[in-house]
Amino acid sequence: MTKPRQPLTQYRALETVADLLGWETCAEIVEMSVSMTRKLGDPDTGRELKYRDAIRLDAAFRQAGGACSPFLDCHAARLGIDTTAAGADATCLMKASGIAAKESGEAMNAVMQAASSGDPAARLAAIREGEEAMQAWAALLHNLKSQASGT
C-alpha cells in the first residue's frame, strides 16, 4: 500500500517526480540506491533530500514534460512566495489545470468503482486517487493565487 504524503511537502514532491521519471531514474539523479531514494520519500524515516538534489529532480521533471517544479512549488508555498516572477506563467497554469482535471476524473472513477464493488482494496485505491486529486488541486490553486497576486 502506498503511504499517504501530505500535499506540498518534499515527500509528495519526490513521489510526484518519481511517478513521472521512475524511482530508478530518480536514484541516478541523486546518486543513491533506489532503496535509499525511496526512503528519502518516506515521511516516517525522518530523512530529507539535499537542496542540490531537489534542484536536479525539478530540472529533470520539467525536461521530461512535467508541469511546473514540484520542489520549487513546495518551498514557495511554505514560504508564501509569489512564484509568478520565478517563471510561473499561463503555460504552467494550463498544465496544472490539466493535471487537476485528470486527477479529479481518476478520483471520481475510483470512488464509483469502490461504491459499486464494496471491495476494501477499491476503497483504498479511491482514497489514494482522492489524495492525488487534492494535491493536484492544491498545486493548481497555489499557482493561480501566485499569478493573481502578481497582476
Handedness of CA 132, 45, 80, 52 (dihedral sign): negative
Compute the distance between CA of residue 49 and CA of residue 19 in angstroms, rounded to an integer: 17
Compute the distance between CA of residue 65 and CA of residue 2 in angstroms, rounded to an integer: 24
Start-to-end Cα distance in the chain: 43
- Let me know: does 75 contact 68? Beta carbons within 8 Å: no
Instruction: Give per-residue pLDDT as tens, 25-50.
Output: 999 999 999 999 999 888 888 888 99
- Let me know: does 21 contact 61? Beta carbons within 8 Å: yes
The percentage of the chain sitting over the pLDDT mark of 70, rounded to a whole number, equals 81
Compute the distance between CA of residue 66 and CA of residue 14 in angstroms, rounded to an integer: 13
Instruction: Give per-residue pLDDT as tens, 2-19.
Output: 565 566 788 888 988 998
Closest CA to 60 of 24, 6, 96, 11: 24
Residues 6+ apart with CB under 8 A from 116: none
Instruction: Give per-residue pLDDT as tens, 75-98.
Output: 887 787 655 554 556 667 787 788
| Cβ atoms within 10 Å, residue 58 | 21
